[in-house]
A and B are shown apart, each in its own frame.
Chain A
């Protein structure tokens, strides 16, 4: 089976220049691979570096050492050393990301927030909206909210807009950062369905789930982040 994402010997630390240059090690020696159609889950206690790993994979955090090899556009790209332009291209076409929080843009309707990633990839705007409607309906977001900007929505409603936005595209790799954090049971089940569908479609998924029910429902395996603990080296 294809392996669209390979992480090898990645290390990350923060240097806090405002605090006399103290260095906070985060992770080191991070190595794993995700296969197509598989959902892997990052496991470990808070502060172990799960979120940081996810952010490095998305190019949101810089990488100190190691490689993040992604199958992108018929070739291989090392995200750890890629130019910003390449990272943007990877985000547009290869790696999707569902964060915990929605960064809202003033005056853009929920429907268009969801449809935007498709439109960005060149899909017809109306076709993109149609898919967005289907997803929002599936996630039980009341239809009367679709035309409104999500800034004033409740946490759960925003989260669902965010999930729809993350799942609408057909990125071969999808990163999930606690997508179910503020959802009720019914909608958690919908997310599980969505993830299952992605797996069936051959998408490689990597997620963080604190909700054990969801985790058990979707995870093919758990990657224990404590194994990459940088604390031992720094100490």
Chain B
């Protein structure tokens, strides 16, 4: 573990006109750390995620990222080309709906290989071998490599999306309800897989979820959001076992059965 964070977020706010998307969010994220952002729909957690991943520009505040060369860069001052490059190399984004993150009409192998080709790999055999390796790491049989994700189940699609994101060895992955819309048994398998990958690869991740069980299993730290503001944050098990903010107590008492 290094003594420097990977991401520094300071007083980040996003307003939609007079409506608050998220307001005054401040935190640091360290390498290898998984942060869960929980709250109900409309609490601003997805707005926050989109701002952090630069899919959305905030109204005010800053976010700095420590690049692979150790240089700190302010995300919202980078050019679009730099941000997009970051997005497909050092970052990943796992969408709730795999169709948003996959190319549904190209094969699983090409879905995994696209990022490699985007960063200049021009050796088919090597790209394919890497794709095979990653499919096995997300528990997709090698003989499905030339099938399109259209022919995959929801859980497989989600696992493929994860492989597609991780193939370039990103250091930071954003996840938006990664287990949303999946059967409970499929969810458990995916969570377990994610947990293993995050640990093995030392990934930092920001996981948006409304499911406290997901937060407990995946994250070390969590932030609880309500009406665009962070109402409580801390160690995940501390927040869940000893919730202090009224809203967190409500959330824990009404949802948590783990």
Contacts and interface: CB of A to CB of B under 8 A. Distances in A.
Physical contact A–B (CB less than 8 Å)? yes
Interface of A: 14-18, 55, 59-62, 84-85, 87-89, 105-108, 120
A60 B237 contact: yes
Interchain residue pairs A-B with the least CB separation, the first 8 = A17-B246, A106-B188, A84-B235, A61-B242, A107-B192, A84-B221, A17-B249, A106-B192
Per DSSP, chain B at the interface is helix
B192 A61 contact: no
B250 A18 contact: yes
Interface in B234-255: 234-235, 237-238, 241-242, 244-246, 249-250, 253
B238 A18 contact: no
Q: Bin chain B's interface residue count.
A: 20 to 34
Given A61-B241, A84-B221, A88-B235, A18 B246 contact: yes
Most B C-beta atoms less than 10 A away, residue of A87, A89, A120: A87
Contact of B244 (A15, A55, A87, A88): A15
Nearest to B199: A120
B192 A16 contact: no
B246 A107 contact: no
B176 interface: no
B249 A105 contact: no
Interface of B: 1, 30, 33, 188-189, 191-192, 195, 199, 217, 220-221, 234-235, 237-238, 241-242, 244-246, 249-250, 253
29 contacts: A15-B244, A17-B245, A17-B250, A18-B246, A18-B249, A18-B250, A55-B241, A55-B242, A59-B238, A60-B238, A60-B241, A61-B241, A61-B242, A62-B234, A62-B238, A84-B221, A84-B238, A85-B30, A85-B33, A87-B238, A88-B220, A88-B235, A105-B195, A105-B217, A106-B188, A106-B189, A106-B191, A106-B192, A107-B192
Most A C-beta atoms less than 10 A away, residue of B191, B192, B234, B235: B235
A32 to B, nearest CB: 21
A85 B221 CA distance: 8
Contacts of A89: 1
Nearest to B233: A84
Given A59-B235, A84-B221, 17 more contacts: A18-B246, A18-B249, A60-B235, A60-B237, A60-B242, A61-B241, A62-B242, A84-B220, A84-B238, A85-B33, A85-B221, A87-B235, A88-B220, A106-B188, A106-B191, A106-B192, A107-B189
A183 to B, nearest CB: 25
A229 to B, nearest CB: 20
B244 A62 contact: yes
Contacts of A18: 246, 249-250, 253
A222 B199 CA distance: 39
A53 B188 CA distance: 33
B133 to A, nearest CB: 19
Contacts of B241: 55, 60-61
A60 B237 CA distance: 6
A120 B246 CA distance: 34
